[in-house]
Amino acid sequence: MSLDVQQQVYTDLNSLSALKNKAKNDPDAALRQVAEQFESIFTKMMIKSMRATVPEGGMLSSDDTKFYQGMYDDQLAIHLTSGPNGGIGLADMLVKQLDNRKPGEPQGKSIDAYSALPSLPISLLGQNEPKMSVDPINAKDTVVQAEKLNFETPKSFIDAILPHAKKAAKDLGTTPGVLVAQAALETGWGKSILPGKGESSYNLFNIKADSRWQGDRVYSKTLEYEKGVPFQENAAFRQYDSLEQSFDDYVGFIKSNPRYEQALQVSEQPNEYIQALQDAGYATDPKYAAKVQSIMARYSHETE
């Protein structure tokens, strides 16, 4: 994998913007990097399938060992497909298949890699990969599937949540664009909304379920940062019955929490609002506000 953009540690979730910029300026190089990332994901799936053939059990078998084994396998997939001699040849095949230029045609005509990026797997886009929700208290490993919410494009996601965003923005005294951008970042444009109990959790803002939350909850791995260093942990998140309820609870969550008082005071300036949320501890990602602001600026014309 190329060292300038590709992640060399599986928890590095900051490569998407760099890859998108490269896709604009150098589509051919971006095509190569997308193909290499796909090869890494495919290798991870093979490792997972091979581990599934090994009988479980024994004194050292536990949910914790499985969790850290998964982290190791994620990094192993990155390692096996990186370097000048790395990979299994899948990336080369993908590049040849997708590079449909005619002989002598100039560079940059092979594929619109920038447009292709939103359809890539969520793990490639720098988002978490919640595939199941398991209640560790009732340890029967009951897998619940996410509802098939039909968000194929950013526009379909915006169209679905914009009416709710407008209502919530009015209650908070801010603009709907910042709420749409925040939800888009938290859920990968709706493609990685946490699964719920029998359906989607509808948790667009990934609000955690602490002791104050009396409703249903779901459990998933989450990526957090401590002093700029990323780490994974298992956490409980709030479960809602609809997208509207998610927005209503977000408004209540922000208004009722004293730590977000400064954010509410600058809510009329959306850039300052989201920065104040980050400063108050809404998210531990040090680039959270900048990411939301970038999405907000790019899609401002669709959220007015």
Q: Which residues are catalytic?
A: 224, 249
Q: Which helix (H) or strand (E) holds 237?
A: strand 229-238
By three-state DSSP, how is residue 258 classified?
helix
Residues pairing with 225 in the sheet: 230
Alpha-carbon radius of gyration of the chain: 21
Q: At residue 57, what is the residue type?
A: G
Q: Hey, what's the torsion of the CAs at 262, 267, 269, 271, to 10 degrees?
A: 70
Kindly give, in sequence order, each residue whose CB lies less than 8 Å from that of residue 296, ignoring residues fewer than 6 positions away: 177, 178, 180, 181, 270, 271, 274, 303
By three-state DSSP, how is residue 126 classified?
coil
List for the chain the helix, strand, coil content (%; round to 5). Answer: 50, 10, 40
Residue 89's region, left for phi above 0, alpha for psi from -120 to 50, else beta, is left
Q: Rounded distance, CA 286 to CA 67, Å?
A: 25
Is 31:93 a contact under the CB 8 Å cutoff? Answer: no
Q: Rounded distance, CA 194 to CA 131, Å?
A: 8
Structure tokens at 252: 């209540």
Q: At residue 260, what is the residue type?
A: Y
Residue 192: how many CA atoms within 13 Å on its side-chain side?
23
Closest CA to 144 of 215, 81, 218, 91: 218
